[in-house]
Amino acid sequence: MYENFCANCHMDDGTGLAAVIPPLAGSDFLKNNPHLLPCIIHKGLKKKIEVNGTVYDTEMPGAPFLEEFEVTNIINYINTAWGNDFGIVKHMEVREALEKCE
């Protein structure tokens, strides 16, 4: 469905898309808010956030069909890809975070 959305979005290198899609690579938001990432992945995001000095106001759909272990794997990939060194999360940490999602 999304394969052809944007051929030059630089999503594969974690840099996002200008002021539309925030970067994952070197993201101060992710580094400073690791507890929010499970909920963002699972339930989406419908508010403005600031990442590396740029404000993003694009709604991100959630992926509620993902299992907890899949969310954990995605977070650990993000946390270690593109030069990120945000640490490894455990499945139980993700479970607890998902239980607290609003």
- What's the pLDDT tens digit per position in 25-73? 999 999 999 999 999 999 999 999 999 999 999 899 999 999 999 999 9
**Rg value, the chain, Cα:** 13
pTM of structure: 0.83
User: In CATH, what class is 11-99?
Assistant: mainly alpha
